Every structure is written in structure tokens, then in C-alpha cells.
Amino acid sequence: MRTVQHWIDGKLWDGAPQRSGDVFDPSTGQVQAHVALAGGTEIAAAVESARQAFLEWRDVPLSRRVRILFAFREVMERRKDELAAAISAEHGKVVSDALGEVGRGQEVVEFACGIPHVLKGGYSESVSMGTDVHSIRQPLGVVAGITPFNFPAMVPMWMFPVAIACGNAFVLKPSDRDPSASLVIAELWAEAGLPAGVFTVLQGDKEAVDGLLGHPDVRAVSFVGSTPVARYVYETAAANGKRVQALGGAKNHMVVLPDADLEQAADAAVSAGYGSAGERCMAISVVVAVGDVADALVQEIATRTRAVQVGPSREPRSEMGPLVTAGHRDRVRGYVDGGVGEGAELVVDGRETAVPDEGFFLGPCLFDRVTPSMALYRDEIFGPVLSVVRVETYEEAVQLVSDNPYGNGVAIFTRDGGAARRFEREVDAGMVGVNVPIPVPMAYYSFGGWKQSLFGDTHVHGPEGVHFYTRGKVVTSRWADPASDPAGRGPDLGFPRT
Ligand code: NAD
């Protein structure tokens, strides 16, 4: 059986793994490969190769760096079906969804192609006699990215195009559940002409993460994953003196006001709730129905939920694939069982959806009359479970969202521009959609939530990504001005010259 290896120093690692894990095909439930899990030897080799590569890469002129980024973008465009197939086969999302993920990641590559412009410093002339000040931004060195299973290509691409464009060497530690996409990406970089060691893949689990967090040559850590691990990574990396941004879990609400276009809102709830089987950090998991909109809205959502085609990710007619592992499917199912026990009304029971016998499937589930005290509401479920909470007023809806410990994304559906504007200003979350259920910022803005959805203060990609992967330096220089100093003695330095 195939073993998914590390990519170190521009090639596949050829050492036999001390430990390995299973990689499943979620559509069949079968093990389809093993993944090497890094130990001390591989961690040391990966970081050392990246450190050596950085020493040369930081001096490669911007114009050459950018040509490699453009080439990477073109190679990816040509091989995007291959990348999407690798994602779909191990994650279980349908191929069209995997292609969408590649496209969103590619936008960050395109942003990074413009790095010469965003890396420009500032200049102040004549701050004092013969004295000017300018600022520059320099790369950090070896930087690490630790990423989740749910976007095995896009989330790493939130990080490495910007990190590499800024002159750093990047070590990616992908999820061990769907590790193959990272190797396709490594091949794309090689084909684009990136020098060996500038992009490294270290496969592994907690041991690899801890190895990177403790390594003195790793200068910065970008993490995306669940909140408990985000908090751990943030605290450990910071305690080790590293720069760190750690994006955590989510519980995204979609507020529907009584004046909303119900059909539009219902379409949005279904695609944002069940797309990728709800395994998206920006998935909608709570619909907040305000006032008298609830009965009609629940009916519209239910009709659409029943129509979602669940099936193997490779089948073109499938709209929703399986969950990533049997364990995760059982955990999500546990919330459905628990929700019924807690008294929520199960309007569509995905446990009864006709699904293939093999594979980690669960049909889409819709609950109504969910209350904030229920586990169904409190916890991040990360599966195809949509909860409707009924409130009387706009104010109650905003309070509900703001009281939630997560603050990743939130949406409002309304025809009232004033209400939307007020919501945008008042709501306690990092990314807001107005009649847009998944308000993922474009690559030239930065992505990040608030509260327990982000530890650290810097969001990923866009301008904040550039800031994260560079250090500022300010230079103050004083030179004699021949016109005002014909003797050429130069300004008074405060000490005698010979
Ligand atoms: P996860 O936290 O289990 O894993 C994320 C990464 O951390 C993986 O590389 C994994 O190998 C590693 N890891 C896991 N346990 C660890 C431990 N104990 N110590 C050190 N490292 C550990 O997350 P996941 O299940 O892969 O992904 C789903 C989660 O990611 C959800 O909570 C989702 O909301 C979140 N997510 C958030 C965003 C965002 O932008 N905020 C984006 C995507 C996913």
C-alpha cells in the first residue's frame, strides 16, 4: 500500500517511517494509504533544510521570486484537476467543491504575485539636517504552517504564497487525515522552479507539531484548526518566543429578519449549512429566525434539505459527500441523538437518508426550536446539522451572536439597508455577510475571526499576512548635502573627526 511521505529538501523523503497512520477513502470506508508520521529525525531534517534554503532565498531578487510565483499559479491552473482529485479522494468532499477550494487558494497566490507592491517601505526626507528615514520589511526565516483536514489545499494556500513571496522558507504540517494534496502542491512548486527547501512538507501528528513549536529555528507559526488545539499552539509557540497566529473553531449564525427574501435565505442556509457536509469553518450552523419569519423559513429550508443528493464524492450527481472519518461521523450523529433527547424538534432526520452502506455518510439534519442551553447549540459540531433558534427581535438576535464564545463569521439576510448597516457595526464577529452566507474575504483582505475563533492578533493572507511574515526595520541616515556644506565636512556628528 502507498505511503504518503514527507517532502524535504525538494524531494520525497526516502527514510522508512518509525510510525505511520491510516488514510481512509471516506466514500468507501476503506484504508487507501498510509501516512508517515514525523519523529525527531524528520523534524530536524525538515527545519535544517528550510533554514539553509532561507539563507539564499531571502536574497533572491523580488523580480525573480515573483516570476516563480506566476509560474506556480500557471502550473496549478494546468494541474488543478489532479489537485482537486487528491483532495476529494481523502477528504470526501465532492470534486466540484474541491475545485472551488483550489480556486480560492489560487487567489492568494495571485495576491502574492503582487508582493513587490505591498512590500514597499516608507520614506521621509529631511527629518533633520541632512537626515532621512526609511522603513523596510524583512522576512523572518523558517516559518511553519499547521493546517486542518477540512481544506487540505486552500488553508495552506492562505499561508505559504505570502510567506514565500516575502522571502521566508515554509514548512507545512498538514492534517494526517488527508495528507496527499500537500505533496501535489510540493510537485507544483518544484515544476515552477522554487529552490529546494523553500517549501517543505512534514507529515505527522502531535509529535510533529510539538517538534516545530519547540524548534529554535522556527520563527513563526500559523495554525488553523479546532479551538482547544489553537489555544495550545498559541500558548506553546508564544512561550517559546515565536510569532503566532492560531485560528480556531466556529459556530456561525445566520440571522434572518422578517423582511428577508425567504427563498434566497433558504437557498443560502442549505448550501452554507450542508456544503462539504458542514465541515467548513465558515459553514452556517445556526439560523436565527427573527419574529414571524420562522414557520415559513423552516418549511423552505426543510424542502431544500430533503432534496440534497448525498453520495460518494466521485459521483457527479452527489451534492454532499461523506464525513471525514467514521469517528467524526459517529460524533456528529451523537449530537443528533442528543438534540432529540434535549427536546429540539428534528424536522429533517439525516440518519434516515438513503446512503451507501459503506463509507462515513450521514444525511443532512435540520432542527427547529433549538435553545442556547442545548449542546446542539453550544458546541461546534462540524457536520451536516443545521439548528434554527427562534427569537422575537433584532436585538435578541444580535445578543445571541455576541454572547456566543466563537466569532468567526456571521450573516444577516434582510432587504433593509439600515438594519444591515447597524448589524455590521454592532455584531461581535470577525467576518460579516449581508445577504451572503459565507462571507470569506477576498485574498487581498485578510481572513480571521474574533473571540475563540482566533488566538493572536493577526488574520491570515492579505495585508495582515504580509505583516505577519515580515519584520519591520527603520533606517535613519544622515549624509552631507554638498550645496549646504561646500566644505564637505558633513553634519555635526557630536564627536571630533580626524
Ligand atoms: P484539529 O485541531 O484536530 O487539527 C488541526 C491540526 O492540528 C492538524 O494538523 C492536526 O494534526 C494538529 N493537531 C491535532 N491535535 C493536536 C494536538 N493535540 N496537539 C498538537 N497538534 C494537534 O482540527 P481538524 O479536525 O483537522 O479541523 C477542523 C477544525 O478546524 C474545526 O474546529 C474548524 O472550525 C477548524 N477550522 C477553522 C478555520 C478558521 O479559519 N478559523 C478554518 C478551517 C478549519
Look at residue 68 in the predicted model and tell me its pLDDT: 98
Binding-site residues, ligand 1, Cβ < 6 A? 146-151, 155, 173, 175-176, 205-206, 209, 224-226, 229, 232, 247-250, 281, 380, 382, 408, 449, 453
Look at residue 44 in the predicted model and tell me its pLDDT: 98
For each of the domains in the chain, give its residue range(s) and CATH number, in order of start. Answer: 3-248+453-475 (3.40.605.10), 252-434 (3.40.309.10)
For residue 142, give the nearest of 207, 50, 226, 259 by alpha carbon.
Answer: 50
Atom 22 (ligand 1): residue with closest C-alpha? 206
Q: For ligand 1, what atom is nearest to the CA of residue 151? A: 43
For residue 230, give the nearest of 252, 214, 246, 250 by alpha carbon.
Answer: 246
Cell numbers describing residue 193? 522552479
Q: For ligand 1, what atom is nearest to the CA of residue 177? A: 26
Look at residue 491 in the predicted model and tell me its pLDDT: 57
Q: What is the pLDDT along the chain (498 residues), one digit of tens a residue?
A: 999 999 999 999 999 999 999 999 999 999 999 999 999 999 999 999 999 999 999 999 999 999 999 999 999 999 999 999 999 999 999 999 999 999 999 999 999 999 999 999 999 999 999 999 999 999 999 999 999 999 999 999 999 999 999 999 999 999 999 999 999 999 999 999 999 999 999 999 999 999 999 999 999 999 999 999 999 999 999 999 999 999 999 999 999 999 999 999 999 999 999 999 999 999 999 999 999 999 999 999 999 999 999 999 989 999 999 999 999 999 999 999 999 999 999 999 999 999 988 999 999 999 999 999 999 999 999 999 999 999 999 999 999 999 999 999 999 999 999 999 999 999 999 999 999 999 999 999 999 999 999 999 999 999 999 999 999 999 999 997 666 666 655 556 666 655
Look at residue 364 in the predicted model and tell me its pLDDT: 98
Look at residue 223 in the predicted model and tell me its pLDDT: 98
Q: What is the pTM of this model?
A: 0.95
Cell numbers describing residue 7? 517532502
Q: For ligand 1, what atom is nearest to the CA of residue 146? A: 9
Query: Is 365 a catalytic site residue?
Result: no
User: Which residues are 432's β-sheet partners?
Assistant: 410
Atom 38 (ligand 1): residue with closest C-alpha? 281
In angstroms, what is the span from residue 149 Cα to ligand 1's centroid? 7
For 353-375, the DSSP string reads S---SSSS----EEEES--TTSH
Look at residue 323 in the predicted model and tell me its pLDDT: 97
For residue 25, give the nearest of 313, 345, 423, 258 by alpha carbon.
Answer: 313
Look at residue 471 in the predicted model and tell me its pLDDT: 97
Look at residue 495 in the predicted model and tell me its pLDDT: 66
> Which helix (H) or strand (E) segment is 213 a member of?
helix 206-214
